[in-house]
Amino acid sequence: MHHSRPVPVPVLMYHVISPAPSVAPYPQLFVPPREFDAQMRWLARHGYHAITLRRAYDNWTEGSPVPARPIVISFDDGYLSQYTRAFPELRALHWPGVLNLEVNFLQPVGGMRPWRVRKLIAARWEIDAHTLTHPDLTRVDDARLWSEVDGSRRALRHDFHVPVDFFCYPSGRYDDRVVAAVRRAGFLGATTTMFGLARPPDFFRLDRVEIDGSDRVRGLAAKLRKLTASAY
Ligand SMILES: [Zn+2]
């Protein structure tokens, strides 16, 4: 049950938890709520326990214990359906999620809204930064890079009084200059869109596992099997 060695952790990546509309430009970003619920139930039945990135980080750096089969369930951007559809399912399992919140998504219409974020925080969700406006950070100038990285952390800390210790690169785009800015802004680590397990020692290039609308339970299980086969 208790590990003192560093445990590699799968970090699942979700976007919209809703059936894909027929004209969606990126239909793979949509996971129907029924599929999401089935995936969470499958994880629970197979002994997985959702944790926050912070808890994984504390295991990696201090050897603090994590539950058996730890997994991070992360949600990008801040779509309303993450609150209305994913949150109830995770709450039923007493599992925290990790929200990579783009500050722009706190908008009045169709977004997450601050009161919803506060409900997630009350349910032990972790709120991480995902910039102000979701640019390709490798293509913006230094001033814009800093305001997107440091400014998003400041805004979320100010609004929600939570640490905001981790960053998520928009569209998985980063380079050495971007990583340096993320470090300088005080983040402890950052997640990418590369397929793999999150693990030490490079906390600023933490791999994830993208789950899309075609995966269903079978695809999720196959991806996890592939990762754990190569983990040790
Ligand atoms: Zn994003």
Beta-carbon-side half-sphere exposure of residue 223 (alpha carbons within 13 Å): 24
- Report how far ligand 1's centroid is from the alpha carbon of 73 (Å): 15
**Closest Cα to residue 153, out of 176, 174, 180, 181?**
181
147 within some domain: yes
CA distance 100 to 167: 7
| Separation CA 217–CA 222 (nearest Å) | 9
pLDDT of residue 175: 98
Is 66 a domain residue? yes
Residue 152 is assigned to a structural domain of this protein: yes
pLDDT digits (tens, 9 = 90+) for 63-80: 999 999 999 999 999 999
Task: Please tell me the distance between residue 68's alpha carbon and the centre of ligand 1 in angstroms.
Answer: 29
CA 100/CA 127 separation, integer angstroms: 6
**Does some domain include residue 1?**
no
d(CA 38, CA 49): 15
Residue 6 lies in a domain: no
Integer Cα distance of 131 and 103 in angstroms: 7
**Domain range spanning residue 216?**
11-229
Give CA–CA dist 58/62, Å, rounded: 5
Is residue 133 within 8 Å of residue 170, measured between CB atoms? no
Answer whether residue 148 is part of any domain.
yes
* Count of Cβ atoms closer than 10 Å to residue 21 Cβ: 10
CA of 171 to the centre of ligand 1 (A): 6
Residue 168 CA to ligand 1 center (angstroms) comes to 8
Could you tell me which residues come within 8 angstroms of residue 130 by beta carbon, excluding any fewer than 6 positions away?
76, 77, 78, 100, 101, 102, 152, 167, 168, 170
pLDDT at 229: 80
Could you tell me the pTM of the whole model? Answer: 0.96
Calculate how far, in angstroms, residue 142's C-alpha sits from the geometric centre of ligand 1: 20
Do the domain assignments include residue 4? no
| Residue 109: predicted pLDDT | 75
Identify the CATH number of the domain in which residue 189 sits.
3.20.20.370
Q: Ligand 1 centroid to 46 CA: how many Å?
A: 29
Residue 5, domain member (yes or no): no
pLDDT value, residue 25: 81
What pLDDT, on a 0 to 100 scale, did the predictor assign at position 2? 54
Q: How many domains does the chain have?
A: 1
Contact 159, 136 (CB under 8 A): no
Q: Are 192 and 207 in contact (CB under 8 A)?
A: yes
Tell me how far CA of residue 2 lies from CA of 59, 70, 72, in angstroms: 10, 11, 17
Burial class of residue 19, CB neighbours in 10 A (0-12, 13-18, 19+): middle
Is residue 72 within 8 Å of 128, Cβ to Cβ? no
Whole-number pLDDT of residue 108: 76
Distance 76 CA to ligand 1 centre (A): 5
Low-confidence ranges of the chain (pLDDT < 50): 1
What residue has token string 């899309």? 212
